[in-house]
Amino acid sequence: MNFMHRFLCFLFVLLSTFAPVQASESHSRGAVGLLAGQVVAVSGSLIAKGPAENQIVLRVDSSSERFAGESLAVIVREGDFRVYSLGTAVHGELSLGADALELKQVWPNDLNGRGIVQSVNHLLRLDTSSRGKFPFRSMGEFLPPFALYNQRGGVTQSASLKGSYVVFNFIFTRCMLPTMCPLSTQKMRRLRSALSEQADLAVQLVSVTLDPQHDTPGVFNEYAAAYQFSVTDIDFLTGPAQAVEDLKAQLGVLAEPDEKLLVKHSMMVVVADPLGRIIYQIPGSGWSPQDIMKKITAHAASNYGDQI
């Protein structure tokens, strides 16, 4: 009896595990017939990971105009598959791919994260507007308030960076000029390697996108892996377009859409101290990791360094 009881329990758990995926496949086949040539905005929660590569099962919530209450097996990009765990609330764009449903432009959708991003970036918007036509912050001023999504699917905000030196730059993943974003990201990678030898220095690296419509957390997750950053080496940040516009204006970066380059932009590296005060600004792409290291270590060794 004991053996039979354990066997039946095992069988129940096994069937329960596969039931959502099997049910979703039926719903997904129904959705396929309704989606030909369409892109539909949906939101919901990840309830399972399917047997196919990068497949998840999304329980569509009641706020979606289409497929509300259905469980759909969809294919996501590799970065999204890594970022979002079971139970995570997301929203994205549902469409029909070559042979399966696809969910693209995937963003976190939890209430707490959304609330932080909206409220903090509302303060950023007000602050930027109050600074007039030229809101640029110079050395000696403090970093503006901001809250953006990182490549882990969480929220990074200015308040959480205090206590560490912060090195900011602006890039985008589709940048095609080797001497611009790719080189800047390589330099950040070398800077992180150099910092690993300075265990007494708390330094956070931050790269903010100039292309938030494309650079979702999942896209940045793949970008970080391509440059061999570990999970905590750097925060690649993205989020609402207006927040990105306000942040780049306050930190001295110019950018505009371009037919050939996608985004035509200037370069700037900003270094802030553990109190959030801007201590260095380096325009252009000619900065070196060694120079940043020297500036931070010299600053930390000064009398100021004894006060923080």
Q: How many residues does the chain have?
A: 308
Please tell me the distance from the alpha carbon of residue 157 to that of residue 169, in angstroms, as a whole number.
Answer: 15
Q: Which of 51-55, 134-138, 140-144, 283-287 has the lowest mean pLDDT?
A: 283-287
pLDDT single digits (tens) 118-143: 999 999 999 999 999 999 999 999 99
pLDDT of residue 27: 55
76-100 average pLDDT score? 94
Q: Which residue has the higher pLDDT, 2 or 202?
A: 202
Number of CB atoms found within 10 A of residue 31's CB: 21
Across 266-290, average pLDDT: 93
Tokens of 26: 């039926």
Given a contact cutoff of 8 angstroms between Cβ atoms, the answer to whether 21 and 73 are in contact is: yes
| pLDDT of amino acid 209 | 96
Which amino acid is it at 274? P
**168 pairs with which residues across the strands?**
206, 270
pTM of the predicted model, to two decimals? 0.87
* pLDDT score, position 256: 74
CATH 1.10.3720.10 assigned to domain 2-108? The reply is no
pLDDT of residue 53: 93
**Across 245-261, average pLDDT:** 83
Q: Using N-to-C axis directions, what is the helix angle for 111-130 and 241-250, rounded to 10°?
A: 40
Helix (H, G, I), strand (E, B) or coil at 5: helix
Q: Determine the Cα–Cα distance for residues 231 and 227; give it in Å rounded to an integer.
A: 12
Give tens-digit pLDDT for 162-216.
999 999 999 999 998 898 899 999 999 999 999 988 878 999 999 999 999 999 9
- The reported pLDDT for the residue numbered 12 is 40
- Topology given in CATH for the domain delimited by 111-306: Glutaredoxin (3.40.30)
Residue 13 has pLDDT above 90, yes or no: no
What pLDDT score was predicted for residue 34? 56
Grade residue 8 by pLDDT with cuts at 50, 70 and 90. Answer: very low
Residue 209: both structure tokens together: 């996108």
Residue 200: per-residue pLDDT:
84
For the chain, which residues make up each domain, given as ranges? 2-108, 111-306
Task: Say if CB 282 and CB 268 are below 8 A apart.
Answer: yes
pLDDT reported for residue 262: 73
Instruction: Give the mean pLDDT of the chain.
Output: 88
